[in-house]
Structure 1
Amino acid sequence: MKKASFFSKIMLFLNMIFSFCLLIACIVPYTSSASLAFIGLGVPLLVGINLLFFLYWLVRRRYYFLLSLSILIYGYMSLGTFIGFNNAGTSVEIEESLSIMSFNSLGFRGKEDEWTSTAGDTIVKFIKKEGPEIVCFQEFDYKKIRSNYFKEYPYKYVDFEFGPNSGRMIQAVYSKYKIVNKGILEFTESSNSAIFVDIKYKKDTLRIYNLHLESLNIRPNNIKKERSDKLFARLRNSFAKQQEQSQIVKNHMISSPFKNIVCGDFNNTQFSNSYFTIKGDLKDSFLEKGSGYGETITFLKFPFRIDMILVDPSLEITSHKNYDIQLSDHEPILATIKIPSE
């Protein structure tokens, strides 16, 4: 056997580091360790790097390619894919399907966070044009909703009470179908929360959760100003809160007498413990019918999918759509669901 060169040894050492990181990332969804949650955010990057190492060693005809190959296979088996392979162009409209949109609207302030922005009017026009039967808003601002907005939705639940501003993020659900029950899931020591509505759809009743898990509160301009140890501690606390909040939602879902549908801003990816906790055996609309990467937010020029629509396994997801309207820091997503007849 030909002796490895110094450069090959360096490459192998780096390969081992990135393979180990991906291995740890595979464990993250199954552990409650908030300290390890960071690495889950980098799964797509780690997969890409390990794929490059695999190709490098394969071209070099060195058996080292087995290292990255084995980790990539294990990662796929434990985490699944983060790319949708469905052809969005061949999606077919199916009768008797229910359309649901989830959208973090950033308080209708516009992407640049300007209170004088006309983004609110544009968002309303966008919703009216797309015509989803149910819309779940996160970071809603009821004070900016005019009387002529959303006339197409006779039923709504807005988690808002007039009075002093509590600083809490507001969630809202607008529906074309009757809401027969509603409630809120309070998150302790947090400005975030989740709400739920029971909607009468034909002969069935569906429970729809609209959630906004703990934000990481990361702003590109502030990262350099904050000490790394304080940043790490703050993010670890946010991850821990996400895990606690996801368990609150999960426990409530278990007691639901109806089929569950979950919409919301998870503030984390599909490789997080909080996502795995809430998802359980639910179907992810993007993984079922989406295409491409499914980006819903961009941070430091990196795309992330942190907004989800999860559906009871007995329901059929007929389509999923990602939008690019740039009216918020998040992009809306839309799923259509077929409810089986009794």
Structure 2
Amino acid sequence: MSFNAWGFNKNGWIKKPGVGDSIIEFIKEKDPDIICIQEHNRIRYKQLAQYPYRSETPYSVPRTIQAIFSKYPIVGNGSLDLPGTINNIIYADIVYNQDTVRIYNTHLQSFSIIPSTDNFSDGEKSERTYKRLVSTFSKQLEQAEFFREHIKKSPHTNLVCGDFNNTQFSNVYKIVKGDLQDTFLEEGSGFGRTYDLWKIPLRIDYILADQDFEVLSHQNFDERLSDHYPVMATLRLNSHE
């Protein structure tokens, strides 16, 4: 599963009580073997005791917090120090039977723009918005290339999860994806919405898998527990057929 949990609503952006606990209950109900959380809240790990192994963005890195929780042993991990940003990519090497799989949890540059007609109709605000969009796209491309260089050196079979903050039609997605399988394109259905922008359904959260995996299923969820919607896929390593 991959889920941008928006800090488990610690800032109260969703105006109803108990949202963070509802996220925990949702994860427990769906019970994925591995979950990648973007915009994590460190104190929540105690509520996810079904996962004996976890890796998080290091305390020493002043960035948004990503976490990987696993039912399988984690034998190695790391954090990619993306330059000039608060965004972050982490990875964990997980032992599954006799294989080691590297899981990347990615959170690429956010746009940080509050959608409003004013931002695009007012001349001065529109110009600032446009410059911010251009800057964000440029930073995302830089991060995508940074990631691509890292994964090329990975000694393991790879899974890439996360919030790319861009659609499947973008160069950012194409660079990160490379020759990986997109589980939604393999086994998903419908729009695959993971985020709403002005009520327009966008797919900006992904699970990508090496060709060594067979994609058995992909599911998008409608639970409104964050500004993103979670996704989950079932995969089988071809070596375990």
TM-score class, shorter-chain normalisation, is over 0.9
Q: How does 1:27-176 map to 2 (within 5 A)?
A: 101-109=1-9, 113=13, 117-143=17-43, 145=44, 147=46, 149-161=47-59, 166=62, 168-176=63-71
In structure 2, what is the equivalent of residue 266 of structure 1? 164
Q: Which stretches of structure 1, 4 residues or longer, exceed 3 Å deviation after superposition?
A: 114-117
Tell me the SS of whatever aligns to 1:170.
coil
Q: Distance in 2 between matches of 1:275 and 1:241?
A: 13
> Which of the two has greater strand per residue?
2
Stretches of structure 2 that go unaligned for 5 or more consecutive residues are none
TM-fit CA distance, 1:112: 6.0
User: Residue 220 of structure 1: which of 115, 132, 157 is its match?
Assistant: 115
User: TM-score, normalised to structure 1's length?
Assistant: 0.66
Q: Distance in 2 between matches of 1:117 and 1:192?
A: 28
Q: Distance in 2 between matches of 1:187 and 1:159?
A: 12
Q: Percent identity?
A: 45
Structure 1 residues 327 and 336: CA distance shift in structure 2, 3 A: same
Q: Deviations over 1:141-200 (max 9, x none)?
A: 113x263x11110000011428xx94x210000000000000000111101010000000
TM-fit CA distance, 1:274: 1.0
Q: Does 1:329 align with 2:227?
A: yes
In structure 2, what is the equivalent of residue 98 of structure 1? none
Q: Distance in 1 between matches of 2:16 and 2:197?
A: 24
Tell me the SS of whatever aligns to 1:124.
helix
Equivalent residue pairs, number:
237
Q: Does 1:304 align with 2:193?
A: no
Stretches of structure 1 that go unaligned for 5 or more consecutive residues are 1-100
User: Residue 79 of structure 2: which of 184, 194, 219 is its match?
Assistant: 184
Q: Distance in 1 between matches of 2:7 and 2:125?
A: 30
TM-fit CA distance, 1:117: 4.0
Tell me the SS of whatever aligns to 1:341.
helix
In structure 1, what is the equivalent of residue 91 of structure 2? 196
Q: Deviations over 1:109-166 (max 9, x none)?
A: 07961598411111111101101000000011113x263x11110000011428xx94
Q: Which amino acid aligns with 1:105?
A: A
RMSD between superposed Cα atoms in Å: 2.0
User: TM-score, normalised to structure 2's length?
Assistant: 0.93
